[in-house]
Each structure stands twice: as C-alpha cells, then as structure tokens.
Structure 1
Amino acid sequence: MALNSSPLRSGGRPLLALITPKDAELPEAEVSPMIPSDLHLETDRSFQLRFWRVQRFCWFGFALILLIALAGFTGKGGPFARTVATSPQGKVEYPRVLRWQTGDEIVITLPPGTAQSTSIDLDAGFLKLLQVEQIQPTPKQSYTTGGGQRLVFDVGRPGGSKNISFIVRPLHPAISSRIRVRINDGDPLALTPVILP
C-alpha cells in the first residue's frame, strides 16, 4: 500500500490551502506598528552641549585633585608633603598639611658643634594648635615660659648633626596658622602648616 505523502485533506482540498493570508490575520492587539526609519527624536542641542562641557570640567577637576593628592598637598606622602624652616641654630622639618586628630612628625636637626645642652622653645600658638604626644630623645627639663614652653635636651657630646623628633596631633582644623619654634635662643622659626579636617 503506497503512503499518501500529500497533506491531510478536507472536502478534497488540502488543509494548508484552506489557510490564506486573509484567514491568518493576527488579533489587533498583536500587530506591531511600523516605525518609520527616518524618524528623528527631538533633542535640545544647546542643553546637550552645556552638559558635555560640565562633564569635561568635572573630569578635569577630579584629575587635578588626584594630582594634588599624589604631590603631597593633602597630607602624608608625596614629594611636596614636607617643608623645612632653617636658621644657623638648626632646621625644622615639618609637614605642609596635617590631618585633624592624626599624628605626624616634626623633626629638629641640630648642626654639628651644637652644645651638649640644647633648648627648644615652643610658643603658645604651637601648644594651642598641636598636642605633643611623644618626644625623642626625652627632654631632661621642661618648664613654662612667658611665651610658651621650653624643653632642654642633653644631646651628647658635640659632633655630627643630631635630631630631635616630636610626634604631634592637631587639636583643631586651621587653614592659616603660624607657629614658632626657637632653637638655643636663636631667631624664632615660623612654621605655617595647614590642618585639614
């Protein structure tokens, strides 16, 4: 018996032939509207240009802040993080920018030939701005003066340069500050650190 390979028939006509394009219309809700290919959405060109300019300005600002931080102008680290005030009696190396309630170091370097007994005077502005947490080496004497506090150190026999290290913590933020340190009754050295929150 030969197989009938033709589609199923209904009334002598193939069933597929009974379905015409007219019979295959989709429900109205399923018909997707045609979108013209030449449709142009309205845009505010001037606003877009202003937005791009502001965006580029923000990019430049963020890049500048990053470079300032890497240079050391926002706190620890970087080639410009520290500066030096000098006099014939010695030099004071201190951070340009300190962070409020964050410890940092001030180093006083005494030149060769300095007397065994060395005095360091911290003015009242220094003590109001910075809390001294640690001093190395430990002073052998400490007493108040009319303008602040005097520390007396035994730095050993005269010879090479010697360092006195102060670990300090800022007591409050200060954008513009001027504090003074005097070494062995010499001219006072003015320090101008900035203290950021």
Structure 2
Amino acid sequence: MPEPARTPPAKVKAAPVRPDGLQIDENRRFQEGFWIAQRCAWGGFMLVALIAATGIGGRGGTLAQGHVTIGNAEVTWPRFTRRGAPETLTIRLSGPETGPELLVGSDMQRLFQIEAITPRPAMERGGDPLRLAFFPDPAAPNALRLSLRSQKAGVASYTIGIGGEETTLTTYVLP
C-alpha cells in the first residue's frame, strides 16, 4: 500500500517580544474586556450580599421589619417578605390595657392569610374592618401576635387600628 503524502508542518509564527521581555502570545483587548466583566460580576455579587445582609430580600436583616407606634401600642410588621412565607405582625401595648380592640382592614384580609392570632380574641366581629377584642393575658401581657402568610407578590398596603387610631402599613412581597 502506498504511503499517503506528508505535508510539511506549517511554520508557527513566533510570539512577539513584549516591552517587559516576555514572549507571550496574548490578545490584550480580549483580556481587558474579561477584566471588566470580572469586576462587574464582583460588583453584582457584592450587591446581592448587601441586599441579603440588610433584609431587603425578606427574612432577617435590619430593614426586613418595620416599627410604628399607634396610640399606646408599638407595631412590628414585615416590611419585606416572600410570597407564601410565614410572617408575624406583633403588637406590644405599652400601658395596662383592659381589653384592646384591634381593627384589621379588608385590604389586609385580602392580601394576607391570617393563620393564627395569639392570644385568641375574646370576640370577633367580621366585616370591614374585622374587629378583634382581647382580654388581658397574664401569660403574655401586652403582646398580640398575628401569624400571616402573603397571598401574592407585589406591594401590599393595608390598614390596622388599635384603640381608635388607624395607620396604613406597607409590605413589599417578593416572588
């Protein structure tokens, strides 16, 4: 059998010598573009870490919870949450309360599922707003907790009232 014809090897062009004395074949424009992309990625990772640390992504962090005073009560509510995540709205009464009445607007009932109320209300009256009356509880004095679960993503604004005063709270529900 005849041997196939061999072609002589192509001559490889030698890489140019750089001013620093190295003889490296490089594509400088590609490398600089890669460095820019790498620094942008570092910035993106830092931004994600900052968002997570502050609580803007929901759960934990300094910005995840909001605090407001309504009458003689301090309300702590979830400012940022995720859709379907369990959250707690806490109401701490500062004075001796003989039976606080909590008003929950229909907007909150539509946006959140109220899973539990601690302590259990002594009286509930449906409608708009939902009225909840409580007896003082010696086991957990001056604290009411509503366990909530958001129903949909978006900006949720709702009203609650305590002792005749009402306020509007806003929760950002992330997908």
Name the TM-score class by shorter chain: 0.7 to 0.9
Q: Percent identity?
A: 26
Q: Of the candidates 160, 166, 173, which is equivalent to residue 188 of structure 1? A: 166
For structure 2, the 5+ residue unaligned runs are 17-23
| Pair 1:57–1:154, CA change in 2 (3 A) | same
Structure 2 CA distance, aligned partners of 1:172 and 1:108?
A: 24
Q: Retained in 2: the 8 A contact 1:111–1:161? A: no
> TM-score if structure 2 supplies the norm length?
0.80
Q: Does 1:98 align with 2:81?
A: yes
The one of 141, 162, 168 aligned to 2:148: 168
Are the aligned partners of 2:72 and 2:95 in contact in 1 as well (CA < 8 Å)? no
**Structure 1: tracts of 5 or more residues without a match:** 1-27
- 1:51 to partner: Cα distance: 3.9
Query: Taking structure 1 as the reference length, what is the TM-score of the superposition?
Result: 0.72
Change in 2 beyond 3 A, CA 1:153/1:195: same
Q: How does 1:35-54 map to 2 (within 5 A)?
A: 35-38=12-15, 43=27, 45=29, 48-54=31-37
CA RMSD of aligned residues (A): 2.7
Aligned to 1:5: none
Moved segments of 4+, more than 6 Å? none
Q: What secondary structure does 2:27 align onto?
A: coil
Kept in 2, the 8 Å contact 1:134–1:166? The answer is yes
Contact 1:86 1:189 in 2 (8 A): no
Q: What is the letter of the counterpart of residue 165 of structure 1?
A: R
- CA 1:99–1:38: 2 relative to 1, 3 Å: closer
